[in-house]
Structure 1
Amino acid sequence: MSRVVGSRAVHLWSLHEDVVVEEDATDQGLVLRSRFGTERISRPDPLVREALRRMELGPVLLANVLPCASAAAEDATEGACLVLLPVLDRLSHLIVRTLSWEDLRGPLLSVVSTSKDAPFAPVALSARRLIRLIGDVSLTLEKAGFALACATSPHRVQLHRPEAVWVVGLLAWPATPSDASSVLPLPPEVTQAVLSYLAAAGMTEDCGEPVPRA
């Protein structure tokens, strides 16, 4: 397999399929209904309304919702992030985080919460630390691809493409992100992003530094 170059990871946000966003006429707010219950947002900023409207329709790139990130709009963009991100953090159990790839062939994987207490934030991994799948992670085949689950994790990971399965397969044994990036025919940024999502979803464990060879 030849390595694909010139591509980058793309981070997308959407609401769970069962989430319904409604207007709350009593206080000009929003009501989000899901299997986890009801969430209310009083007098949301127009940016929040627009982001949730788009996320209800499917995965979106937050940069497309925020003001144009030109030099003249830099302050406005920073302010928009301060308005939007705290709301999305509060609603993290209703949000699906999807990792895609700029090659336009579709998403690589998605992380779905299975608990109301399920914050998710991709983590920065050390290139030289060994990681592997947690022992009780299960890999099941579904109609939409493979899925990873773990009894100790409040998340479920859906693997949409073979490239994501390649990365998971490497983690059957301890491996460093650096070694994984060098072995797989993927852009290093994409491999690193897949590993970051898996770690943030609680599917991996740290095995320490590699033991130097004698």
Structure 2
Amino acid sequence: MRSEGEPGTVHLWSLREDVAIEREDDGGLLLVGPWGDERIGDAHPVLREALYRMELGPVLLSNIESTPGVPMLGAGLYLILLPALRRLSHLIVRTLGLADLRGPLLSVLPLTRPAVFVLPRLGETEPVRLHRGVTLLLEAKGFRLERGGAQHRVLLHRPEPMWVVAMLAAAVTPEAVARALPLPRTVTREILEYLAAAGMLVRGSGSGN
């Protein structure tokens, strides 16, 4: 659990940098990306606003407004947005951050047309470790994790996810990771879940690659 005063996590959504949105004459949207075009006919105003904002950078879905000054709150927002965004998963970068104004923790970038990003639920005592094929590479603004055959790449923006990755050379439980690191338990869990969703982790006690 998160202690009082500790920043919570935020889940942000953006389009890949090589995706552009074009408005068609009939009011539909055309998303032009690296694997062809995706057409959305008669897009709901809240979806249209979400995509326009996601083209500019990471956004918090709960902040999306279908009409300026009129936020759409609650289940209605997600009933409209999530099915549409799930279909566009291969064009969407998912970012995990902390509500501390210090920038994102990590981002997951889709690399293939079939790429689907679904956060799993990890058991507290379920062993996890890095796939043996994962490589850690230095970039100008942080590190990246990638694995041959994986459908996603992970960009590490801050030290906190690096601390978690360093614990994963051998099988370890989320509970043990949380005890070992000076991070709220929810933060370590969600970092692990993002890594698992990106295909970077082996789950369970098996000897998978």
TM-score (norm: length of structure 1)? 0.88
Q: Once the two structures are superposed, what CA deviation does each residue of 1:89-112 show, in whole Å capped at 9, x if it has no partner?
A: 010010000000112111000000
Any residues of structure 2 matched to 1:63-102 within 5 Å, and which?
Answer: 63-65=62-64, 77-102=74-99
Q: Once the two structures are superposed, what CA deviation does each residue of 1:104-143 show, in whole Å capped at 9, x if it has no partner?
A: 1110000000001001021110000110000100111011
Q: Once the two structures are superposed, what CA deviation does each residue of 1:155-202 show, in whole Å capped at 9, x if it has no partner?
A: 000000111111001001111000101110111111111000000111
Structure-2 separation of matches of 1:112 and 1:66: 25
- Superposed displacement of residue 66, structure 1: 5.7
Structure-1 separation of matches of 2:177 and 2:91: 31
Structure-2 separation of matches of 1:85 and 1:45: 12
Q: Which runs of 4+ in 1 moved over 6 A?
A: none
Residues 207 and 81 of structure 1, relative CA distance in 2, 3 Å threshold:
closer
Give ranges in structure 1 of 5+ residues lacking alignment.
Answer: 68-72, 210-214
Structure-2 separation of matches of 1:36 and 1:5: 44
Give the counterpart letter for 1:16 in structure 2: R
Helix, strand or coil for the counterpart of 1:178?
helix
The number of residue pairs the alignment matches comes to 200
TM-score (norm: length of structure 2)? 0.90
- Superposed displacement of residue 151, structure 1: 1.4
Structure-2 separation of matches of 1:125 and 1:165: 19
Are positions 1:118 and 2:121 aligned together?
no
Give the counterpart letter for 2:104 in structure 1: P
- Partner of 1:195 in structure 2? 192
Helix, strand or coil for the counterpart of 2:192?
helix
Q: CA-atom RMSD, angstroms?
A: 2.0
- Partner of 1:47 in structure 2? 46
Q: Conserved in 2, the CA contact under 8 Å of 1:10 and 1:99?
A: yes
Are positions 1:129 and 2:136 aligned together?
no
Residues 5 and 182 of structure 1, relative CA distance in 2, 3 Å threshold:
farther
